[in-house]
Structure 1
Amino acid sequence: MEYLTFCFVFSCWMKFASSVYSTDAPQAPAHIPKEKLLVLTVATEETDGFLRFMQSAKYFNYTVKVLGMGEGWKGGDVGRSIGGGQKIRLLKEAMEALADQEDLVVLSVDSYDLIFAGGPEEILRKFQQANHKVVFAAEGLVWPDKKLADQYPSVRSGKRYLNSGGIIGYAPYINSIVSQWNLHDNDDDQLFYTKIYLDPLQRQTLNMTLDHKCQIFQNLNGAVDEVLLKFGTDRVRVRNTMYDSLPAVVHGNGNTKMYLNYLANYVPNAWSYEHGCSHCDDDVLDLTQLKEYPDVMVGVFIEQPTPFLPEFFQRLLTLDYPKDKLRVFVHNNEVYHEKHIQNFWEENRNVFSSFKVVGPEENLSQGEARNMGMDLCRKDATCDYYFSIDSDVMLTNRQTLKLLIEQNRKIIGPLVTRHGKLWSNFWGALSLDGYYARSEDYVDIVQRKRVGVWNIPYMAHVYLVKGSALRNELKERNFFILEKLDPDMALCRNARELTSHREKDSPSPESFHMLKPPKGVFMYITNRHDFGRLISTANYNISHYNNDLWQIFENPVDWKEKYIHQNYTRIFTENYLEEPCPDVYWFPVFSEKACDELVEEMEHYGSWSGGKHEDKRIAGGYETVPTDDIHMKQIGFDKEWLHFIREFISPVTLKVFSGYYTKGYAIMNFVVKYTPDRQAYLRPHHDSSTFTINIALNNKDRDFQGGGCRFHRYNCSIESPRKGWSFMHPGRLTHLHEGLPTTNGTRYIAVSFIDP
């Protein structure tokens, strides 16, 4: 008996082995040709997200069929609650014609918040490796019914729960699933698929599984920390570090749409180290081909005391754009700036197509004022673009407006940064509470190590909006007011989360209360060019007569542009200086504006010393060679003046007195006033300094006659001082000198005894 049993078992084993190793045994299935893959997606509107989805599909040559385009959305607010049944109804209708195509593989995916990262061949290969007829995307969170979590089959490793944003399977099997749909458009699509999958009999009969380890589908919700960018030579991939997989479909489900936007700035071929920005020149608008330039409404917002406001308006005036195509709206919230606006308007009242000012007397909040400015464009069908700019933006690129228009985006801003800092007008990411978070690429974008056009979650200070978008996607009239957010944050959040517009134009009463699916408008920042900078409004003290003079610390670049002579740098590049007397050097340092404002500041202060020997301002209280002057310390300008010496005088010192390294320190810094009736000249003397600077603050023959300086040792006089130019000469021992008489008018000079 035991022998017979052994023979039977041995015979069965031989038959099994024969079938396994026989050349007639079934072979591994051949690769499915990519022509047999059909992508089905539902989209009722061509949103920015949909267009991005189609762009990624085109890159990989997917065959895509769009369902529901132009159909009213009745599927609920799927971004915030249950819904989406309309997608299954449309898919069910489409599958009826495909149900008998047994070799057709259908890939059903969302489109508004999804991109492709891999091609059809890759997806089909991974689908075959899954060895099931239907594969659903998987995620680590249960939606919409958490009570169903325990009914899911346990998995040793991987995502356990179904996500309906991605399904791939053979057409007959997909049809068998969706043909069971008999619910309403606003019922939940994911709950429908979940219940079918959790039915053990259906799961076995339809041979369904989940993509547990994100081989095909990557859902970002709950998995952002698992994902990073993988830069390759041909394109950029998304890599799941937990499963070491390279998903071919990336889905920004839940609250991860901003992170998807970040990934899509690179994936699949938007930007790479080798090729830079691949899509920056796609769909650009060629202004040279237009019969006339678009009409632009410029909204200017002055919400706090802002340094260099006259210069801001001059930069607006010098934009390379036809002024008859610019209408200007100004909201000024500061009484202090009314004089600046009035001066600009009086000088340029006929330059722009129109110029409207709303002042502080209107008592508008920032949000109300910005809504008003945007509405002026929204309500005017001839307004092609709305250009919003805050007064703390210094646009140094005259082509800015043209360059933004040419990029042809609904909302786009130029990158502007604060000098020497990483502070800019955009955020690369948001924290969980909706405020600033630093994205991985933020620093590289700010420093222009990565150059392109970037989809970002927040922008402020300066941006361009299409008028057509204002009258369509952004047609709501209250974008700048939302909860307790500041106006810019409110605008960006409203644009990102554009989900709650009513179907007011729908003739169907029942659809009036239906919400549209998410269709957020993408916001872009471009750093393809150097556009300008942000100035600091912090610590701007407006108690002085000329307040910008004090901005040498807060805004050094703007201070230099306004107050340093235009030829100053030529001292070092072209040796642009003179030596009228031995070891007396003459060079340009101050602009006309610096000279005028310093004189105005001193006259506004008004307490001139009178040129008396008794002087309580100095140690000992006695001045042997007194001048009629005001000290920098008296007007609170001593720290700023010493910084000016270190920044702009010290380099000249090293150039002309080679080997001498000045400390850039001075105790005596003052402006002298020479007039025939008070003090016309200064007797011969030495200065208590290692070297002295003497800057002419006004013009000879126009403001005064006479004046100048004579150096006795060399019998050399300089009688034609130039406004804004400085003498530099040794103070002690060798250069005994005197101030020559001023015969008419008033002469002003700024003097410092450096390194006493």
Structure 2
Amino acid sequence: MEYLKIIFVLSCWMKLANSVYSTDTAQAPTAIPKEKLLVLTVATKETDGFLRFMQSANYFNYTVKVLGMGEEWRGGDVGRSIGGGQKVRLLKEAMEGLADQEDLVVLSVDSYDLIFAGGPEEILRKFQQANHKVLFAAEGLVWPDKQLADKYPSVRRGKRFLNSGGIIGYAPYINKIVAQWNLHDSDDDQLFYTKIYLDPLQREALNMTLDHKCQIFQNLNGAIDEVLLKFGTDRVRVRNTMYDTLPVVVHGNGNTKIYLNYLANYIPNVWNYEHGCSNCDENMVDLSQLKEYPNVLVGVYIEQPTPFLPEFFQRLLALDYPKDKLKLFVHNSEVYHEKHIQRFWEENRNVFNSFKVVGPEENLSHGEARNMGMDLCREDASCDYYFSIDSDVMLTNRQTLKVLIEQNRKIIGPLVTRHGKLWSNFWGALSLDGYYARSEDYIDIVQGKRVGVWNIPFMAHIYLIKGEALRNELKEKNYFVLEKLDPDMALCRNARELTSHREKDSPSPESFHMLRPPKGVFMYITNRHDFGRLISTANYNISHYNSDLWQIFENPVDWREKYIHKNYTRIFTENYLEEPCPDVFWFPVFTEKACDEIVEEMEHYGSWSGGKHEDKRIAGGYETVPTDDIHMKQIGFDKEWLHFIREYISPVTLKVFSGYYTKGYALMNFVVKYTPERQAYLRPHHDSSTFTINIALNNKDTDFQGGGCRFHRYNCSIESPRKGWSFMHPGRLTHLHEGLPTTNGTRYIAVSFIDP
């Protein structure tokens, strides 16, 4: 009997459910055609944020009407204080002509800090599902009057408080709301809407509600932890993980504008895994179509002792850009580098359109020097671009300047990274106190797994700025000086926020809203090409005569490029070595620059041993076959030299002495000096090593005559050593050898007894 009762009850429930379903289906409202949706937004200037808003709107084919363009903004800084009443006044004026269109749906949104993630059909469908005449965006924070929190209707689940950055509703109802506006442009728009919404009679009469679960509007303030990017096959969305919704309108209200910039690098279809960057080639400048190349002021900043500075200048000189279109401004704060700049200036002062150097005697701070360089472009109407580059940037791409100009951004920099590290010239995010934070995509961008043009909050070391922007959006001076911030951070903060200098002096409340333009300038980094790298300057010791020699650990790539022979790699790819005597191998290893600097370092040290048997530098204090030499250890170069052996000699050893794995260790590493007056030759001997290297450091017939090496067992001599080339031969038993007489001049060789 009980069983039959249960069956009866279930049957009744199923009939009721089917009845409800069929009724809902029969009464399902007709979808609102997308032509009946009008987007109204306020923008007094075409800022970068506004242009981005319009790009996302155009992507989805929204019909947008812009209110207030060209009008002076008098609505205050709504991101930092109360204000925004001007938006209500403009909306009120616009709605007066739309009030009688009962079937028109009006979407009123901000523009400078807002993007669309979905299209008109989706937003209209979700609006219909809300089943209200007016729908406001919602957020979890009360603004601007926290005392009103208790007056809000309680909600079981969802955002409770109104946000005025997004409103959607039928035109007559929107008109009834904004028609009540009778305040000033500088009064607060959100407070105005809040008071209307909190009035129970108006809330019911106007059939208003909030988008509690972010079906349409996603305000980021206080909700960053709730959202994440959802990558689809067609486009990228923001997903609210708390309510499992896909918001259509994403609003970077409050202090979340930087996070919105991050999201907008992907949404709606800017970058995805399938196709990469979809808009990187939009609005590009085609330099080939210009009558002449733009004029560029290049600002070079040497703010600390920097390795490989001559090479930096040579790479700058090698840029593929007409030099008559380049003006050069150099600020050097280091006395150590004056010799390098003087040499470059003497050789190239007539190469560029102009060449200005400001040295350490001017005693300028880093910020003051950078302000000076930027002002030179700002105040020159013919300056089309300002290209700032620090001396620790080693550009390897000769097209860098052209690539940046073609990308057509107000501020853009090329990605440069420190070799083998994640250290780069940009930050993908900021912490709450405005310093470094790692964005989710930072590593992928640095490692080239995501390639594109990225809107970022901070850049340094190298960037290009349009001269037009310097004379308009960035026209105020002293951009590199801001209390408690280094110059690069000051520039980026000022560019993002366009801080007024008067504002920093605690302006009166009446003037506060009038001083700050709406939003700042976007900064971009591009990793669409390989541009170069950042040099480490942290442990650069300038006490040596040729300090770059010591950079084999800190900057191995630059060390290799400067000091390792261009044909070294051919040893392994093309068997580029010789065997002039049995088991004596001859191969290129050092550049001429390396040879010259090693010799200069030794002569600068100057304490040659004199070729005496008594030698306190070695164990036992006695050398049976002495040479006139200086040990690497004496000049503090022993660790670096042993690293050189392991990096560049050991691989050759494995190639020529197959099966032998060297430890790459040597106790005796030294430079020998042969002269007819002091020591011209070396008598026959065996080396105390498993194998020996002997590198020629200067040129026969140019720097000396004679010289060479004879191997007695094979009656084989090598009498024409090549500068930068090394002999490698066994040290014990088989290869008794002697140094042939140097008859004129001075001969230098670098020797190591390896694996003693």
* TM-score interval, smaller chain: over 0.9
C-alpha change, 1:467 and 1:748, in structure 2 (3 Å) is same
Alpha carbons 1:479, 1:490 under 8 Å: kept: yes
C-alpha change, 1:7 and 1:377, in structure 2 (3 Å) is closer
Q: Report SS of the residue matched to 1:24.
A: helix
Deviation at 1:28, TM superposition (A): 1.7
Q: Report SS of the residue matched to 1:163.
A: strand
Deviation at 1:515, TM superposition (A): 3.3
C-alpha change, 1:20 and 1:542, in structure 2 (3 Å) is closer
Q: Report SS of the residue matched to 1:71.
A: coil
Alpha carbons 2:77, 2:513 under 8 Å: kept: no
C-alpha change, 1:389 and 1:219, in structure 2 (3 Å) is same
Q: Report SS of the residue matched to 1:455.
A: strand
Find the aligned partners of 1:678 and 1:104 in 2 and give their Cα distance.
101
Deviation at 1:405, TM superposition (A): 0.3
Alpha carbons 2:631, 2:668 under 8 Å: kept: yes
Alpha carbons 1:74, 1:516 under 8 Å: kept: no
Find the aligned partners of 2:691 and 2:583 in 1 and give their Cα distance.
10
Deviation readout 1:205-238 (Å, 9 max, x if unpaired): 0000000000000000000000100000000000
Deviation at 1:653, TM superposition (A): 0.2
Alpha carbons 1:502, 1:516 under 8 Å: kept: no
Deviation at 1:667, TM superposition (A): 0.1
Aligned to 1:190: 190
Higher mean C-alpha displacement, 495-504 vs 102-111: 495-504
C-alpha change, 1:513 and 1:245, in structure 2 (3 Å) is closer
Deviation at 1:12, TM superposition (A): 19
C-alpha change, 1:140 and 1:462, in structure 2 (3 Å) is same
Deviation readout 1:653-690 (Å, 9 max, x if unpaired): 00000000000000000000000010000000000000
Deviation at 1:239, TM superposition (A): 0.4
Deviation at 1:500, TM superposition (A): 3.8
Query: Superposition RMSD on alpha carbons, in Å?
Result: 4.0
Q: TM-score, normalised by structure 2?
A: 0.96
Deviation at 1:78, TM superposition (A): 1.2
Alpha carbons 2:230, 2:238 under 8 Å: kept: yes
Deviation at 1:23, TM superposition (A): 8.2
Q: Report SS of the residue matched to 1:184.
A: coil
Deviation at 1:80, TM superposition (A): 1.2
Deviation at 1:9, TM superposition (A): 21
What pairs with 1:318-329 in structure 2 (closer than 5 Å)?
318-329=318-329
C-alpha change, 1:696 and 1:604, in structure 2 (3 Å) is same
Deviation at 1:26, TM superposition (A): 6.9
Alpha carbons 2:480, 2:490 under 8 Å: kept: yes
Alpha carbons 1:615, 1:622 under 8 Å: kept: yes
Aligned to 1:625: 625
Alpha carbons 2:298, 2:327 under 8 Å: kept: yes
Find the aligned partners of 1:8 and 1:632 in 2 and give their Cα distance.
100
C-alpha change, 1:527 and 1:7, in structure 2 (3 Å) is closer
Aligned to 1:608: 608
Find the aligned partners of 2:17 and 2:418 in 1 and give their Cα distance.
76
Alpha carbons 1:501, 1:516 under 8 Å: kept: no
Deviation at 1:518, TM superposition (A): 2.6
Find the aligned partners of 2:281 and 2:513 in 1 and give their Cα distance.
40
C-alpha change, 1:2 and 1:670, in structure 2 (3 Å) is closer
Deviation at 1:519, TM superposition (A): 1.8
C-alpha change, 1:12 and 1:311, in structure 2 (3 Å) is closer
Alpha carbons 1:425, 1:460 under 8 Å: kept: yes
C-alpha change, 1:30 and 1:367, in structure 2 (3 Å) is same
Deviation at 1:577, TM superposition (A): 0.3
Deviation readout 1:397-440 (Å, 9 max, x if unpaired): 00000000000000000000000000000000011111110000
C-alpha change, 1:614 and 1:317, in structure 2 (3 Å) is same
Aligned to 1:515: 515
Find the aligned partners of 1:435 and 1:565 in 2 and give their Cα distance.
42
5+ residue gaps, structure 2, are none
Question: Identity across aligned pairs (percent)?
Answer: 90
Matched, 1:36 2:30: no
Find the aligned partners of 1:343 and 1:20 in 2 and give their Cα distance.
89
Q: Report SS of the residue matched to 1:22.
A: helix
Q: Report SS of the residue matched to 1:748.
A: strand
Alpha carbons 2:75, 2:513 under 8 Å: kept: no
C-alpha change, 1:21 and 1:568, in structure 2 (3 Å) is closer
Find the aligned partners of 1:8 and 1:680 in 2 and give their Cα distance.
118
Find the aligned partners of 2:568 and 2:10 in 1 and give their Cα distance.
101
Q: Report SS of the residue matched to 1:641.
A: helix
Deviation at 1:506, TM superposition (A): 22
Deviation readout 1:462-499 (Å, 9 max, x if unpaired): 00000000000000111000011000000000011125
Deviation at 1:8, TM superposition (A): 25
Deviation readout 1:237-273 (Å, 9 max, x if unpaired): 0000000000000000000000000000000001000
C-alpha change, 1:361 and 1:14, in structure 2 (3 Å) is closer
Q: Report SS of the residue matched to 2:604.
A: helix
Q: Report SS of the residue matched to 2:744.
A: strand
Deviation readout 1:514-572 (Å, 9 max, x if unpaired): 23443210000000000000000011101110000000000000000000001001101
Alpha carbons 2:74, 2:513 under 8 Å: kept: no
Alpha carbons 1:674, 1:747 under 8 Å: kept: yes
Alpha carbons 2:76, 2:512 under 8 Å: kept: no
Find the aligned partners of 1:126 and 1:606 in 2 and give their Cα distance.
84
Deviation at 1:27, TM superposition (A): 1.4
C-alpha change, 1:184 and 1:490, in structure 2 (3 Å) is same
Deviation readout 1:310-353 (Å, 9 max, x if unpaired): 00000010000000000000000000000000000011111001
Alpha carbons 1:502, 1:512 under 8 Å: kept: no
Alpha carbons 2:498, 2:516 under 8 Å: kept: no
Alpha carbons 1:627, 1:672 under 8 Å: kept: yes
Aligned to 1:708: 708
Q: Report SS of the residue matched to 1:70.
A: coil
Find the aligned partners of 2:513 and 2:538 in 1 and give their Cα distance.
47
Find the aligned partners of 1:559 and 1:2 in 2 and give their Cα distance.
90
Runs of 4+ in structure 1 over 2 Å off: 1-26, 499-513, 515-518
Deviation at 1:19, TM superposition (A): 11
Aligned to 2:170: 170
Aligned to 1:419: 419
C-alpha change, 1:505 and 1:560, in structure 2 (3 Å) is closer
Find the aligned partners of 1:320 and 1:515 in 2 and give their Cα distance.
42
Find the aligned partners of 2:684 and 2:10 in 1 and give their Cα distance.
127
C-alpha change, 1:565 and 1:27, in structure 2 (3 Å) is same
Deviation at 1:599, TM superposition (A): 0.3
Alpha carbons 2:186, 2:513 under 8 Å: kept: no
Deviation at 1:146, TM superposition (A): 0.3
C-alpha change, 1:134 and 1:317, in structure 2 (3 Å) is same
Q: Report SS of the residue matched to 1:169.
A: strand
Aligned to 2:264: 264
C-alpha change, 1:430 and 1:161, in structure 2 (3 Å) is same
Deviation at 1:10, TM superposition (A): 22
Alpha carbons 1:19, 1:25 under 8 Å: kept: no
Q: Report SS of the residue matched to 1:5.
A: helix
Find the aligned partners of 2:116 and 2:641 in 1 and give their Cα distance.
59
C-alpha change, 1:18 and 1:138, in structure 2 (3 Å) is closer
C-alpha change, 1:23 and 1:602, in structure 2 (3 Å) is closer
Q: Report SS of the residue matched to 2:16.
A: helix
Find the aligned partners of 1:650 and 1:691 in 2 and give their Cα distance.
11
